[in-house]
Amino acid sequence: MTTALLVLIVLLMTAGLVMLAKVARQQKHALVALRAEEEAIVAEERRMFHYLHDLGEAIWRDDQQASMYRLIVEGAVRVTQSTGGALYLLDEATQQLVPRHYSDFCAPLIAVPERVQQQMKENSATLLSTLRMHAVTVDQGLLGGIFTQQKTELIPDLGVEARLGSPLIPSQQNVIAMIGPLSFGTRQLGVLAVTSSKNSRSYNANDFEVFNSLIEQSAFALANAMSHQEAAKNRMDQQELLNASQIQKVLLPDRDPDVPGFVIAGKNIPARTLSGDYFDYFKLPDGRFGAVIADVSGKGLGAAMITVMCRTLMRAKSQTATSPSAVLAAVNRQIAPDIREDMFITMSYVVVDQDGSKLTLSRAGHNAALLWRKATGKVEAIHPPGLGVGIDKGAVFERVTKDESFEMQPGDCLLLYTDGVNEAMDPKGIEFGEERVQEELAKHAPHGPKAVIGGIIADLEHFLKGRRSHDDITLIAMQKTA
């Protein structure tokens, strides 16, 4: 009897220890899960802090429009750890929601027209191009409904969302989204959205609350940026700007260069009295030739002063550096310490060998150069990697920015241009777009560089329907003749 009792006691103690161990493991797992949840919340708060910091700085910059739109979308995507995002703003004149920034991997938030679905079979880029240009009326579809109701929504599956219409395309299937209206006071501004694949992400109540905070902060930033723009515009002294404009025009080339084997033309059209764009030509050692085009972030007097600095430095450094990227690196090391942290310059610099057999391009964050091939009638994009001047003081810029060499055959035409061309917007807020620039280049290149520049500018003026462009427009066209 005593032995049985001892065995029973041992069994009970063993069972108790097993239970305690199980409870301990459960508590450990619970603590690990709780710690992971706390770390996720801290990380989300950190992402939100950086977003608000960047947004706050952007309010006081001169280059609000495109950069702020991009910052809002990319910040919302980063904070919510989504795949893509989109920002639509209200055009009060047309009562349309116009896409101001649509990230590469944002799911379609509109009904995709059948003709576009057919075009996608031949060219997948058609979809993103359509999404970035297609405006919707305020009472149309999913976006219009959310804008009209002025209520943020968490969409559990775009694939079953009736307001998108039908048929849906694959990239709308198994996609979750958060979409909210942007408003400040009584002013309705637009709609912000983020999307993600259901296979990689799910939005919970905390995500939805964070997204609502993003909506509020973004609307506040947009409204304040608009007010800042209006106040800054009113403070401008027009006479001083006119004087500075005359000086700036003297610094631009007054005639097309004479380069054996090439015909070259250039043009600068300021959006305001002063331009943040510039272009220039250089005769280089050993009979080489160089052409540069640049776009300073922002507009007005500050941007114009930076263009003068760029011109002076480019003319000096181009005579000693061995390659286009080395020239841009030297310019960057001189400029980066002396400009505001919120300013930068995008540049493209191309050098033609003495015999014209080879060209070498370096690109500091600038638009890709476009090369029309006479033999095929096709346009190629030349875009070596590169970082904008002024973003980094040296090491990173020089590691990232590279040269790319290529050849041109007689009749081929190279186009360099600033984003005032492709980002020009018509009265509905639709961008001119790189695709249209390529079409215009292919259309006019057979008739020479002057025809290319004149044709693009004429099409831009028609596209803008009499409105003045919001950004400077600068182009250089180079055609090989022999």
CA distance 141 to 297: 36
Beta bridge partners of 292: 280, 349
Q: Name 297's Cβ contacts closer than 8 Å, sequence gap at least 6.
A: 61, 62, 63, 67, 276, 303, 342, 343, 344, 345, 346, 388
Assess if CATH 3.30.160.20 describes domain 42-230: no
Return the exposure string of 453-473: e unless at least 16 CB atoms fall within 10 Å of the residue's CB, then b. bbbbbebbeebbeeeebebbb
pTM of the predicted protein model: 0.52
**Secondary structure class of 314 (helix, strand, coil):** helix
Domain with CATH 3.30.450.40 in the chain: 42-230
pLDDT at 114: 87
**Secondary structure class of 411 (helix, strand, coil):** coil
CA distance 270 to 277: 8
- pLDDT tens track, the chain, 482 positions: 567 666 666 666 666 666 666 666 666 666 655 555 555 555 555 555 555 555 555 544 544 577 889 999 999 999 999 999 999 999 999 999 999 999 999 999 999 988 898 898 888 888 999 999 999 999 889 999 999 999 999 999 998 999 998 788 999 999 999 999 999 988 899 999 999 999 888 999 999 999 999 999 899 888 888 777 666 666 655 555 565 556 666 678 889 999 999 999 999 988 776 677 889 999 998 899 999 999 988 766 777 788 888 999 999 999 998 899 999 999 999 998 888 777 899 999 999 999 999 999 999 999 999 999 999 999 999 999 999 999 988 899 999 999 999 999 999 999 999 999 999 988 888 999 999 999 999 999 999 999 999 999 999 999 998 787 878 899 999 999 97
pLDDT at 394: 85
Tokens of 142: 């999913």
CA separation (Å) from 210 to 84, 152, 321?
A: 16, 12, 50
Q: Where are the beta strands (DSSP E) in 153-288?
A: 153-155, 175-184, 187-197, 262-269, 277-283
User: Can you name the CATH fold of 239-480?
Assistant: Phosphatase 2c; domain 1 (3.60.40)
User: Listing from the earlier edge strand, what are the strands of the sheet with 413-417?
Assistant: 262-269, 473-480, 413-417, 369-372, 379-382
Q: Name 390's Cβ contacts closer than 8 Å, sequence gap at least 6.
A: 332, 335, 336, 339, 343, 344, 345
CA separation (Å) from 387 to 51, 367, 402, 419, 480?
A: 22, 11, 9, 16, 29
What phi and psi values does residue 271 have, to the nearest 5 degrees?
A: -75, -30
Domain with CATH 3.60.40.10 in the chain: 239-480
Nearest CA to 353 out of 254, 235, 226, 260 is that of 260
pLDDT at 44: 52
